[in-house]
Structure 1
Amino acid sequence: MTIKWLMGLGVLGTGWLTLLASVMLLSSDAPAALVPLATADFIDALPDHISITDTTALGTVLVSDDADFVAQLYRAGAVVVLPAGLMGCAPLT
């Protein structure tokens, strides 16, 4: 029974992250992006017009006015890009 609960929570968590990543990819409503577990290689590969606003235990928060912002983060090596800075989101600090 415990294994079923843990598997269910894993599926729920994966589904939630997939939903957030899809919203970030399809919408430009989020003022910033959170890249969990950003590596030094990822940071080095970022274009100059993308700014790092914060680095936390959860990941790196980035901003840009470019319309192709999320795609550029994936090209730089991000595994997943999540929305950050939306109303109702928990603060990262």
Structure 2
Amino acid sequence: MTATTGDVSTNKAVVTTPGTLSITSNVTLHNTEGTVQAGQLDLHVANLDNAKGAILQTGTGDTRIVTGSLDNTAGRIAVNSNDLNIDAATLANRDG
């Protein structure tokens, strides 16, 4: 999925695939109280709001999250792989 204008919202939604989920956006991915789950995840977004949300990777491939700002306040990021790469300029992870 590629978004070039406007925010992407999975708030209070469940997005799941057994395969690869790749989201690229030059805006914000809002996943407040939502669930994004995939066999393999590749997220490249300007900002990631995962407050009270869940980002879950169930496969064995590497997981990559690239973002300017990551808000994982009371959120969960969990991977099954050996390699989780988070590249964020700022990170809020209170109770996450």
Question: By percentage of residues, which structure has more helix?
Answer: 1
Q: TM-score range by the shorter chain?
A: under 0.3
What TM-score does the superposition give when structure 2 sets the normalisation length?
0.22
Where relative contact order (Cα < 8 A, 6+ residues apart) is larger, the structure is 1
Question: By percentage of residues, which structure has more strand?
Answer: 2
